Chain A
Amino acid sequence: MEKIKVQNLTKIYGHNTDKALQMVHNGSSNQEIREKTKQVVGVRDASFAVEQGECFVIMGLSGSGKSSLLRCINRLIKATEGQILIDGEDVNQMSSQRLEKLRQEKMAMVFQRFALLPHRTILDNIAYGLEVQGVQRPVRLEKASQALELVGLKGWEDSYPDSLSGGMQQRVGIARALATDPDILLMDEPFSALDPLIRQDMQDELLDIQQKLQKTILFVTHDLDEALKVGDRIALMKDARIVQIGNPEEILLSPASDYVARFVENVNRSRALTASAVMVKPRAVAHPKDGPLTALTFMERHGLSTIFVTDRSGRLQGYVQAEDASDLVDKGIRELDGIIQHDMPTAAPDTMLADILDTLAYCKVPVAVIDEQSKLKGVLVRGSVIAGLAGERRGSHE
């Protein structure tokens, strides 16, 4: 179900937007529009939809319009043109009372610099959203302490924000956003102000929380590694436009433009690429009924020293080594069963490369990629993995 649907959203900053809008329609560049009308284009013609329970990342460098776009969603900034539908209701057309209600109940925001109120205790900070809704004090403090527990800060209820570290302050920011149990979380570079190590912890924690609560998240960042890690899908922005929307692998493997390609060049691919993205088709497989000679022939023909064995429905049984097979042939035994090795490394198609690099480095046998029914989907050989990490496009080598 589509939770958020944005259609042809354009935001122009300035007092006299008509002419600038006309120029946007005619396809003039941002530069031209600024020179001719003194108006600045923040977002131009953005369209996307976010599914219920999805984490949608808006990513771009500073000035690319990502924060403007996020703020149009809850109308902190009013879009100049276009539709923002939340559950089918257009945010841009709402009365201010309706808008207040929507902000109170359906969405909450997490800020880059945490935005905690310095004159309130942690618990009262978290309870802010509930307080605005008019929830009675005992009830809202109860809910606030539940949210505080969720982010692992129990015991800090009565402290003030300035006694907390950055990471802890942002946990409070997240707890505050969760306390009202909104459907949608708007996160504006929530981890950018944190140290790298704490940033990674927070990303992991966000993923944990997301697994439990299944919120619809709109997450803005300038860090591609972060985008790839937390995003189900990513929209890349440049010069106020969305230049590509796709899941992390699509962005990495088939960048839509040189800009995106340059962007993804320096990313740590092992954290974004999954086994299925770099695996190759097994060049040959043997079946248990095949005799050792058949297996040996396959191996010779394809220049392999081992071969995977699957049953008729493609389920992986194990592998056979060339020496063992040739021993069997010498002894005149017809069945492979005795020499199939069952102990071997495997990976699921969605395993991150980062998690199997060690195995790949020390294991002599290729790593088999199998699905839940243990069907053989592909194999990871060092060459294809290294090529994937180095960023070569898939397809050019197969």
Chain B
Amino acid sequence: MNSIPRLPLARWTDQSIDFLQGHWGASTQAFSEQLESFIKGLQLILISIPPELFILVMVLLAWWLTGGKMAIFSLIGLFFIYNVQLWAVTMETLAMVIAAVLLCAVIGIPLGILSAKSITAHRIIAPVLDFMQTLPAFVYLLPAIPFFGLGVVPGVLTTIIFAMPPVIRLTDLGLRQVPEELIELGKSFGSTFFQMLFKIELPLARATILAGINQCIMLSLSMVVIAAMIGAKGLGGVVWRAIQTLKFGMGFEAGVAIVVIAIILDRITQNLGKNK
């Protein structure tokens, strides 16, 4: 056993990161700036909405989609966040979650479709997803810094890596679960590939895909908090600072705010799938 030389995986990884940084550094910087202005814009919009109006809209949305109990919870929860003066950082976090989920959907749904349609694609994508979901976040959190600097961009990008797999998996699953007879229906009337996809398969897979988006939102929310370690700020930033300065009360407040946002987003998106 010992006669086999040690596999230099660590050195290879370091070398490739150096190589990539050297050759791709400029383009990742440009991409990073684009993404940053998008996220900052989103944060600006959310923060400029008056909290009263925001709370009202969320309460009505919760009422419409899930009913009275959730509306009351939203009212109390959001008012609590406003009351403990975490409103601005909550909006920062929300903007990062929205940006991450949008990108996950834009990239993940097409990949899910590809994976459902092509066995080869499925064979390549499935293990990559396993890798993305189980690799400890810290392992790729820090290497992101040389490429994208400190701040929201590497935070959102690592969030995407962590939160995208369920979107791909459930899109794939949703498409595979479309009843055989409905596939035959589409074919027997001479539907083209895209007609099948947009008129039959995606509408029927809608609930499953939305379940994937729901999972994606939950994972994003937990990840943007961890991403605060590399300067992503938001509620995670508050938690991180509280831990460093041993202000446990402050950390608990921020933690409750995260839970409130998580429950509201979860219930609302769950019911998006059920509603017609």
Contact = CB atoms under 8 A, between A and B. Distances in A.
Interface of A: 71, 74, 76, 99-105, 107-109, 111-113, 115, 117-119, 128-129, 131-133, 180, 186
B188 interface: yes
B181 A76 contact: no
B189 A104 contact: yes
A101 B190 CA distance: 6
Interface string B167-193: 000000000000101101101111110
20 contacts: A76-B184, A100-B191, A101-B190, A103-B188, A104-B189, A109-B185, A111-B181, A112-B181, A113-B179, A115-B179, A115-B185, A117-B199, A118-B204, A119-B206, A128-B189, A131-B199, A132-B189, A132-B190, A132-B191, A132-B192
B188 to A, nearest CB: 4
A109 B182 contact: no
A100 B204 CA distance: 22
Which among A107, A112, A119 has the greatest number of chain B C-beta atoms within 10 A?
A: A119
A107 B195 CA distance: 18
A119 B190 contact: no
A119 B182 contact: no
Contact of A100 (B184, B192, B199): B192
Given A103-B189, A108-B189, A132-B189, A115 B195 contact: no
B46 interface: no
A71 B181 CA distance: 12
A209 B185 CA distance: 22
Contacts of A71: 184
Nearest to A100: B190
Given A118-B204, A128-B199, A111 B184 contact: yes
Closest 7 interchain pairs by CB? A104-B190, A103-B190, A109-B188, A115-B185, A100-B190, A115-B181, A129-B189
Given A100-B190, A100-B192, A109 B203 contact: no
Interface residues of B, number: 18
B17 interface: no
A132 B190 CA distance: 7
B204 A119 contact: yes
A285 to B, nearest CB: 56
Given A103-B189, A117-B182, A132-B192, 19 more contacts: A99-B190, A100-B190, A100-B192, A101-B190, A102-B190, A104-B189, A107-B188, A108-B188, A111-B185, A112-B181, A117-B199, A117-B203, A119-B203, A119-B206, A131-B199, A132-B189, A132-B190, A132-B191, A132-B199
A117 B190 contact: no
Contacts, number: 62
A221 to B, nearest CB: 17
A113 B181 contact: yes
A284 to B, nearest CB: 59
B103 interface: no
Contacts of B185: 109, 111, 115, 117, 128
A118 B199 CA distance: 11
Given A119-B203, A128-B199, A132-B195, A76 B189 contact: no
Interface of B: 179, 181-182, 184-185, 187-192, 195, 199-200, 203-204, 206, 276
A128 B182 CA distance: 12
B191 to A, nearest CB: 5
Contacts of A186: 188
A228 B206 CA distance: 43
Contacts of B203: 117, 119
Contacts of A128: 185, 189, 199
B181 A103 contact: no
A51 B185 CA distance: 25
Nearest to B188: A109
Contacts of B181: 111-113, 115
A117 B141 CA distance: 45
A27 to B, nearest CB: 32
Contacts of A102: 190
A275 B184 CA distance: 42
Nearest to A103: B190
Nearest to B185: A115
Nearest to A101: B190
Contacts of B184: 71, 76, 109, 111, 115
A118 B185 CA distance: 13
Which among A99, A105, A109 has the greatest number of chain B C-beta atoms within 10 A?
A: A109
A374 to B, nearest CB: 48
A54 to B, nearest CB: 20
Nearest to A106: B190
Contacts of B204: 117-119
A31 to B, nearest CB: 27
A128 B185 CA distance: 10
A163 to B, nearest CB: 12
A287 to B, nearest CB: 61
B220 to A, nearest CB: 28
A99 B204 CA distance: 25
Contacts of B188: 74, 76, 103, 107-109, 186
Contacts of A101: 190
A119 B185 CA distance: 14
A79 to B, nearest CB: 16
Nearest to B184: A76
Which among B185, B191, B276 has the greatest number of chain A C-beta atoms within 10 A?
A: B185
A105 B185 CA distance: 14
Contacts of A99: 190
B195 A117 contact: no
B74 to A, nearest CB: 29
Contacts of A107: 188
B224 to A, nearest CB: 34
Contacts of A113: 179, 181
Contacts of A105: 190
Nearest to B195: A132
